[in-house]
């Protein structure tokens, strides 16, 4: 008995599989990015992280330059800014509230060269989710905590 070999093999080529997997990976990444960006929880977490980084930058600037560094929250522009550095923008749909010492000025936190600060807190909320970034007045320690 003789076997007849067909000139065409059945199945998929490696190239076809790679193309299909690449298309699938791109589709999954687009879906996951768009779903996570719409989530208020994700936005609040991202916003508090960027704010904590901006506050740490200001604290370091005060200690290295020997001059006080000010971080201010502009409610009208919905921005948190340190000097001329890049600002953190609060997206629409998220409520931002700053509590600060009167000596720092309205809606501002001051960091001093000796490592202390005026202290304060920034709270971001949307619906039932909130997160607060606190600055201790004595040690300038910056902490993030989730709200109830």
- Phi, psi (deg, nearest 5) at residue 119: 80, 165
Positions in the chain whose pLDDT score sits under 50: none
Task: Say if 46 falls within a structural domain.
Answer: yes
pTM of the predicted structure, to 2 decimals? 0.72
Indicate the number of domains in the chain: 1
Task: Say if 25 falls within a structural domain.
Answer: no
Domain that holds residue 136: 40-146
Task: Say if 116 falls within a structural domain.
Answer: yes
What are 28-37's pLDDT values in tens digits? Answer: 888 776 665 5
Neighbours of 61 (CB within 10 A): 19
Q: Say if residues 62 and 70 touch (Cβ distance below 8 Å).
A: no
């Amino acid at each position: 008995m003789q076997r007849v070999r067909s000139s065409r093999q059945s199945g998929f080529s490696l190239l076809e599989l790679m193309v299909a997997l690449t298309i699938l990976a791109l589709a999954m990444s687009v879906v996951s990015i768009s779903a996570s960006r719409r989530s208020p929880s994700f936005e609040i977490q991202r916003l508090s992280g960027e704010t904590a980084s901006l506050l740490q930058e200001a604290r370091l600037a005060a200690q290295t330059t020997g001059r006080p560094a000010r971080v201010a929250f502009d409610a009208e522009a919905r921005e948190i800014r340190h000097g001329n550095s890049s600002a953190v923008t609060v997206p629409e749909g998220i409520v931002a509230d700053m509590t600060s010492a009167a000596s720092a000025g309205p809606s501002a936190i001051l960091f001093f060269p000796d490592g202390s600060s005026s202290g304060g807190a920034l709270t971001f909320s949307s619906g039932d989710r909130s997160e607060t970034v606190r600055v201790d007045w004595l040690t300038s320690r910056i902490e993030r905590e989730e709200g109830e």
